[in-house]
């Protein structure tokens, strides 16, 4: 009997030893994970897409192929700025895919880091290879030194905005665009309706181009400590070879990457370890909120505004969608959560569905009326439907280069029956009521149907104007003067009272603190709504019990009924698109009422 006790005791000892060993291994791994050298030289590779939000847990994330988020970049730079171990950063400019607002937000973080008097050096093989490098050089100008290899260029070339017009091609093919717009600056349908720029279209594009170039020029002048007129001459005289750029003071040296690294490492000190910025960020312990700090919900809407986004919508890709069903659920959840004291709403959208934008507008309005401040932070764009959603917020922040406004609407359809006849395709059918064919791309509007379309556009435009006027505390006359479908940069929008302040995420946080009456030093408890789902949760896909239980993970399947109802109508539109594609033209057959 005693030998059994010895065996059991031995097994117990092994289990205890295994548990202790596992605990020690876990502790050592955690310590190693957060261990960084005492002296660090950071390395930032700017390449690939830089996006607003990362996709939820996926196999791509497991493989480490996720795009870089602007938030991760700027937070890491700000932590490095205050970290005494960090001696400097080398920024290697490759071929990043970055939009205007994100570029300005990243540049602001560079400027803050440079203010710490640490090394901040830019190196690249070229700023534009046979093309413009305006935006990348604008980013690099925030660094204390810029180097380009001898074969490279500095593509300061100014800005050209160009658009194709296909009306004559459509006329030749026998395709008619039946589209209404409100008002003269709502230029999205012009490619179907005009053969060139209208005066309003030209005014709008010229204003945008000049405003964008003014921001780039002034930023570069400040970063390089040069007069603005001199930088304007650079844009007129460019592009430049690396040698020419050095002679004009546009860059600080003609060097290859290895030469730059050797020089910077000497300045940083022999003990400084070279570490990628993302690896540095991963090893940092998260900053804890200040004790009893208010909880702030962070809600994000990126892409074209849709009632229900397709399940294949991927952040940073062309098909990314602003899913109104998910965003409204997140706003409702934040409003009902007693711990949440304010909402920071990041919007990055060119517009989209009027109905979807109105649904988001309602949730923003309801949250503000419930006593919870809503601070909107506009990113690269918050135009049309994107601006509609922002209008009732407590405060609105935009980057100077954010594209916003576009307060207007268009809608209609493209009729391809004559083209189909030319190609030997005939359509026939029956209908139960007079307007059943109103959205059909095979039949033109009747006079009554066209009048109904114009009535709908007037109704939507008036609603848009009224809600902007109320939200921004403007008169209808003031609102109409800055509306008419015109797109503004953030700086112009500030002058037109469409936004309250210029800046990015950090500026929005400042305004949240003001609204919550906490000190500037307070570290808020930021919580993403919806919280990211794990890979298992995405695979399992458990549906909610009811719409009130959607919480912050909207159920995509709720849109299936709409998809099924639309399938038959869209089948004809798809055929129209294929017919047009066969002759080299891509367009949509039916244009729903849109705020984009």
448-493: pLDDT as tens digits: 999 999 999 999 999 999 999 999 999 999 999 999 999 999 999 9
Q: Are 220 and 111 in contact (CB under 8 A)?
A: no
- Tell me how far apart the alpha carbons of residues 258 and 141 are, in angstroms, rounded to a whole number: 21
Confidence tier at 308 by pLDDT (50, 70, 90):
confident
CA dist 486 → 303, 407, 481 (Å)? 20, 7, 10
> pLDDT band for position 429 (50/70/90)?
very high
Pairing of strands 176-182, 409-415: antiparallel
Which region among 20-24, 53-57, 338-342, 358-362 has the lowest average model confidence (pLDDT)?
Answer: 20-24
The 409-415 sheet, strands edge to edge: 176-182, 409-415, 590-594
Name the β-bridge partners of 40.
Answer: 86, 273
Say whether pLDDT at 65 is over 80. no
Q: Which tens digit of pLDDT belongs to each residue from 513-542?
A: 999 999 999 999 999 998 665 544 544 555
* Helix axis angle, 228-237 to 199-224, nearest 10°: 120
Joined tokens for residue 362: 């309602």
Per-residue pLDDT reduced to its tens digit, 168-197: 999 999 999 999 999 899 999 999 999 999
Pick 142 or 20 by higher pLDDT: 142
What is the spatial distance between Cα 133 and Cα 131, in angstroms, rounded to a whole number? 7
Provide DSSP, 418-438: HHHHHTT-------SSTTTTT
> In the predicted model, what is the mean pLDDT of the chain?
86
41 membership: H or E segment, kind and range: strand 40-51
Q: What is the pLDDT of residues 534-578, one digit of tens each?
A: 544 544 555 555 555 554 433 333 333 333 344 444 554 555 555
Q: Could you tell me if 350 and 318 are in contact, meaning their C-beta atoms sit under 8 angstroms apart? A: no
- What is the structure's pLDDT at 500? 98
375 CB contacts (<8 Å, ≥6 apart)? 342, 343, 344, 345, 393, 394, 395, 396, 397, 508, 511, 512, 515
* For residues 87-102, average pLDDT: 95
What is the pLDDT, as a whole number, of residue 208?
A: 94
Judge whether 124 and 148 are in contact, CB under 8 Å. Answer: yes
- Domain spans, the chain: 40-157+238-283
Tell me how far apart the alpha carbons of residues 307 and 385 are, in angstroms, rounded to a whole number: 12
Q: What's the rounded Cα separation, in Å, for the pair 415 and 573?
A: 10
On the question of pLDDT at 206 being above 90, the answer is yes
Per-residue pLDDT, averaged over 432-450, amounts to 94
**Predicted pLDDT at 38:** 92
What mean pLDDT do residues 312-323 have?
60
- What does R_g of the chain's alpha carbons equal in angstroms? 28
Instruction: Give the pLDDT band of residue 24 (cuts 50, 70, 90).
Output: very low
- In this prediction, residues 400-421 reach a mean pLDDT of 94
The reply to whether CATH 1.10.287.70 applies to domain 40-157+238-283 is: no
Q: Tell me how far apart the alpha carbons of residues 82 and 75 are, in angstroms, rounded to a whole number.
A: 11
pLDDT of 399 = 97
pLDDT at 296 over 80: yes
Nearest one of 498, 344, 503 to 406, comparing CA atoms: 498
Q: In 334-484, which ranges are E strands? A: 340-349, 374-383, 395-398, 403-405, 409-415
pLDDT in tens, 99-146: 999 999 999 999 999 999 999 999 999 999 888 999 999 999 999 999
pLDDT at 357: 96
Token representation of residue 481: 């003067």
- Given a cut of 60, whether residue 27 has pLDDT beyond it is no
Residue 26 has pLDDT above 80, yes or no: no
- Residue-level length of the chain: 596
d(CA 252, CA 160): 28
pLDDT of residue 312: 46
Angle at 56 between CA 52 and CA 61, to 5 degrees: 95
How are beta strands 403-405 and 487-489 bridged, if at all?
A: antiparallel
At residue 309, the pLDDT reads 75
pLDDT at 545: 53
The arithmetic mean of pLDDT across residues 264-271, rounded, is: 93
């Amino acid at each position: 009997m005693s030998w059994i006790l010895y065996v059991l005791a031995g097994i117990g000892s092994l289990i205890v030893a295994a548990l202790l060993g596992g605990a020690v291994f876990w502790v050592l791994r955690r310590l190693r994970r957060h261990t960084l050298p005492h002296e660090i030289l950071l390395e930032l590779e700017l390449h690939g897409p830089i996006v607003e939000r990362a996709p939820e847990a996926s196999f791509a994330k497991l493989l480490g192929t996720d795009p870089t988020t602007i938030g991760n970049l700027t937070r890491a730079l700000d932590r490095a700025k205050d970290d005494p171990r960090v001696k400097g950063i080398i920024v290697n400019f490759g071929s990043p895919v970055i939009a205007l607002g994100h570029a300005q937000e990243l540049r602001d973080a560079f400027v803050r880091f440079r203010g710490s008097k640490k090394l901040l050096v830019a190196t690249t093989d070229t700023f534009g290879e046979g093309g413009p490098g305006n935006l990348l050089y604008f980013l690099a100008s925030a660094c204390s030194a810029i180097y380009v290899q001898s074969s490279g260029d500095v593509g300061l070339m100014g800005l050209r905005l160009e658009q194709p017009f296909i009306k004559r091609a459509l006329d030749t093919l026998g395709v008619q665009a039946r589209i209404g717009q409100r008002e003269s600056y709502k230029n999205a349908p012009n490619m179907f309706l005009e053969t060139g720029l209208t005066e309003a279209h030209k005014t709008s594009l010229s204003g945008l181009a000049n405003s964008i170039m003014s921001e780039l020029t002034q930023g570069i002048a400040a970063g390089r400590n040069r007069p603005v007129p001199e930088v304007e001459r650079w844009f007129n005289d460019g592009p430049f070879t690396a040698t020419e750029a050095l002679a004009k003071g546009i860059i600080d040296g003609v060097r290859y990457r290895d030469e730059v690294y050797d020089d910077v490492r000497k300045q940083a000190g022999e003990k400084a370890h070279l570490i990628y910025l993302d690896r540095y960020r991963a090893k940092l312990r998260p900053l804890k909120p200040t004790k009893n700090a208010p909880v702030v919900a962070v809600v994000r809407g990126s892409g074209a505004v849709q009632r229900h986004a397709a399940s294949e919508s991927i952040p940073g890709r062309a098909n990314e969608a602003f899913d109104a069903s998910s965003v409204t659920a997140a706003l409702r959840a934040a409003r009902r959560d007693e711990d949440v004291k304010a909402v920071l709403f990041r919007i990055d959208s060119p517009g989209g569905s009027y109905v979807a934008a109105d649904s988001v507008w309602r949730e923003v309005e309801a949250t503000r009326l419930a006593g919870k401040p809503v601070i909107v932070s506009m990113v690269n764009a918050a135009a049309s439907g994107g601006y509609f959603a922002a209008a009732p917020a407590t405060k609105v922040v935009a980057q100077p280069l954010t594209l916003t406004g576009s307060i207007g609407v268009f809608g209609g359809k493209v009729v391809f029956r004559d083209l189909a006849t030319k190609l030997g395709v005939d359509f026939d059918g029956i209908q139960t009521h007079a307007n059943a064919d109103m959205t059909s791309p095979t039949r033109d509007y009747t006079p009554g149907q066209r009048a109904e379309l114009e009535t709908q556009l007037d109704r939507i435009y008036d609603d848009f104007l009224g809600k902007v006027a109320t939200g921004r505390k403007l008169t209808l006359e003031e609102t109409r003067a800055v509306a008419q479908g015109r797109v503004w940069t953030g700086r112009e929008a500030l002058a037109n009272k469409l936004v309250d302040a210029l800046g990015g995420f950090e500026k929005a946080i400042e305004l949240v603190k003001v609204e919550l009456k906490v000190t500037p030093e307070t570290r808020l408890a930021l919580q993403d709504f919806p919280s990211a789902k794990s890979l298992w949760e995405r695979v399992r896909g458990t549906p909610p019990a009811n719409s009130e239980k959607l919480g912050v993970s909207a159920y995509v399947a709720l849109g299936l009924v709409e998809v099924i109802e639309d399938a038959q109508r869209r089948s004809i539109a798809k055929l129209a698109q294929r017919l047009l594609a066969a002759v080299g033209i891509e367009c949509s057959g039916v244009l729903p009422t849109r705020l984009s």
